[in-house]
Amino acid sequence: MTNNFVEELRWRGMLHDVMPGTEEQLTKERTSGYIGFDPTADSLHIGHLAQIMTLLNFQKAGHKPYALVGGATGMVGDPSGKSAERNLLSEDVLLHNVACVKQQLEKFLVFSGDNAAEMVNNYDWFKNFTFLDFIRDVGKHITVNYMMAKDSVQKRLESGLSFTEFTYQLVQGYDFYWLNANKGCKLQMGGSDQWGNIVTGTELIRRKSGGDAFALTTKLITKADGTKFGKTEGGNVWLDPKKTSPYAFYQYWLNTSDEDASNFIKIFTQLTREEVEALLAEHATAPHLRKLQQVLAKDITTRVHSAEEYETAIKATNILFGNSTTEELQSLSETLLLSVLEGVPQTSISKADFEQCATITDLLSVATNNIVFPSKGEARKMIQAGGVSINKVKVTDANQKVAFELLNNKYLLAQKGKKNYYLIVVE
């Protein structure tokens, strides 16, 4: 083994619980282990990243990782951590989601070499498994008392728990049994909320085949301020660039607090212990430079997207918060431009009205519904004070004619003062 996997998780602050004997098994020999991902959407989000990084650390320690995409379990719904029944997805939607999730996982793990990662889909072994076969071959080995004792079941008894979700732990338990019997998989990993489901698998293996089976869970990621990790006002932060732009993805990590960044740098990057300690010490001497957040945001954005997308995110960041140029602004695609300016006040003007504006003062006041300036007088005053720019070019004359090249043949970016931006849409 190249390093001690459990110790690696421990210093990174990721380890939550580990079944007795697991660490001895992992130091004794190369071990196969897996983590399951339910394809309830056609993209993973950053809430899944801790588990992806767990698999990556597992593989780097010399072990063989399996990423199980739950085409079958996704049809059932895991009650763990849920307060209500999940909407069930159709088979076609699930198969599409599985394909998308597979593509994302392939960015992280190495699928060649002695300990090559493998992907499996539990739909493959459940699709021809009849209900009668399941209750005979699986159900008879686990008692109702054992299943009822699980936290995921107890927490839902008052609000209601369907038979479908009640049986989820048996379905997940059979995944572990199947992988143990067919792939020699001895370890299942997951978030701490998965402990009950995981040990159902170890129990099923023990009772059904007497094989070796171990369990390990990682801490659920929390933020220092108590808000939910991986959520913004707009919802989840997705790995799919169509759902969350690389710019917005980069900004999420860049804007983390010092306390969160000092934890996330260990969990979500592959920096060594020495590198992390040096970075934390450097950050402590000049926290206002936010070096920790910059390294964190660069590492994760590059890994999830690409070095090119990271550079584009930097360019986009400079548009709003730095000294970018008109040329940089003009180089942005419409999609990226709108992503960068998400939340910026917008106003629209017809092409005909735009062309008839006599001066820039007219455009920035009456013609654009007084969104940028409430009156011509206020517009003139700020222009004369040097506080107005259009497309990153400072306006020096309140009576200047409107002769600006539209961004993507459609937009003008007006800036009032240092931080107030307005997007004018010419339609």
For 374-427, the pLDDT digits (tens) are 888 888 899 898 888 888 888 888 888 888 888 899 998 888 887 788 888 988
Q: Is the pLDDT of residue 61 over 90?
A: yes
128-138 average pLDDT score? 89
Average the pLDDT over each of 22-26, 253-257, 366-370 and give the range with the smallest value.
Answer: 366-370
Q: Is 228 a catalytic residue?
A: yes
Are the C-beta atoms of residues 229 and 236 closer than 8 Å to each other? Answer: no
Tell me, yes or no, if 172 is annotated catalytic: yes
Query: Would residue 288 show up in a list of annotated catalytic residues for this protein?
Result: no
Name the active-site residue from 231, 243, 376, 410: 231
Class of domain 231-340: mainly alpha
Is 231 annotated as ligand-binding?
Answer: yes
Choosing from 60, 96, 167, 193, the catalytic residue is: 193
16 catalytic per annotation? no
Region 303-317: mean pLDDT is 89
Check 54, 172, 251, 269 and give the catalytic one: 172
232 is catalytic: yes
Residue range 346-426 in CATH 3.10.290.10:
yes
Amino acid identity of residue 372, one-letter, is V
User: 144: buried, middle or exposed (CB in 10 Å: 19+, 13-18, 0-12)?
Assistant: exposed
Q: Check the annotation: does 172 bind a ligand.
A: yes
Q: What is the DSSP string of 87-152?
A: PPPPHHHHHHHHHHHHHHHTTTS--SSTT--EEEETHHHHTT--HHHHHHHTGGGS-HHHHHTSHH
Confidence of residue 357 (pLDDT cuts 50, 70, 90): confident
Model confidence at 68, in pLDDT bands (50, 70, 90)? very high
Active site (annotated) includes residue 231: yes
Residues 6+ apart with CB under 8 A from 234: 342
Residue 168 assigned as binding residue: yes
Q: Which of 25, 27, 60, 82 is catalytic?
A: 82
The predicted structure's pLDDT at residue 149? 74
CA atoms within 13 A on the CB side of 264: 28
Is 419 among the catalytic positions?
no
d(CA 220, CA 227): 13
Residue 242 known to be catalytic: no
Residue extents of the structural domains in the chain: 5-218, 231-340, 346-426
pLDDT band at 151; cut points 50, 70, 90: confident
Q: Residue 75 has what pLDDT?
A: 67
Assess whether pLDDT exceeds 60 at residue 31: yes
Task: For 77-122, write each residue's pLDDT tens digit.
Answer: 555 555 444 456 777 888 888 889 888 988 899 888 889 999 999 9
Q: Tell me whether residue 335 is one of the annotated catalytic residues.
A: no
Select which of 30, 107, 207, 228 is catalytic. 228
CATH code reported for the domain at 5-218: 3.40.50.620
